[in-house]
A and B are shown apart, each in its own frame.
Chain A
Amino acid sequence: QQQVKQSPQSLIVQKGGISIINCAYENTAFDYFPWYQQFPGKGPALLIAIRPDVSEKKEGRFTISFNKSAKQFSLHIMDSQPGDSATYFCAASTASGTYKYIFGTGTRLKVLA
Chain B
Amino acid sequence: DADVTQTPRNRITKTGKRIMLECSQTKGHDRMYWYRQDPGLGLRLIYYSFDVKDINKGEISDGYSVSRQAQAKFSLSLESAIPNQTALYFCATGQGTYNEQFFGPGTRLTVL
| Partner-B contacts on A (CB < 8 A) | 6, 9, 32, 34, 36, 41-46, 49, 51, 89, 93, 95, 99-101, 103-106
Contacts and interface: CB of A to CB of B under 8 A. Distances in A.
Taking chain B's interface residues, is the majority helix, strand, or loop, or is none over half, making it mixed? strand
30 contacts: A32-B98, A42-B105, A43-B1, A43-B103, A43-B104, A43-B105, A44-B43, A44-B90, A44-B101, A44-B103, A45-B103, A46-B100, A49-B98, A49-B100, A51-B98, A89-B43, A95-B97, A95-B98, A99-B50, A100-B48, A101-B43, A101-B45, A103-B35, A103-B42, A103-B43, A103-B44, A104-B42, A105-B40, A105-B42, A106-B43
Given A43-B90, A44-B90, A45-B1, A101 B42 contact: no
A93 B31 CA distance: 15
B101 A46 contact: yes
B1 A105 contact: no
Nearest to A43: B103
Interface of B: 1, 4, 31, 35, 40-45, 48, 50, 58, 90, 92, 94, 97-106
Contacts of A41: 105-106
Nearest to B108: A41
Taking chain A's interface residues, is the majority helix, strand, or loop, or is none over half, making it mixed? loop
Contacts of B48: 99-100
Contacts of B94: 99
B109 to A, nearest CB: 15
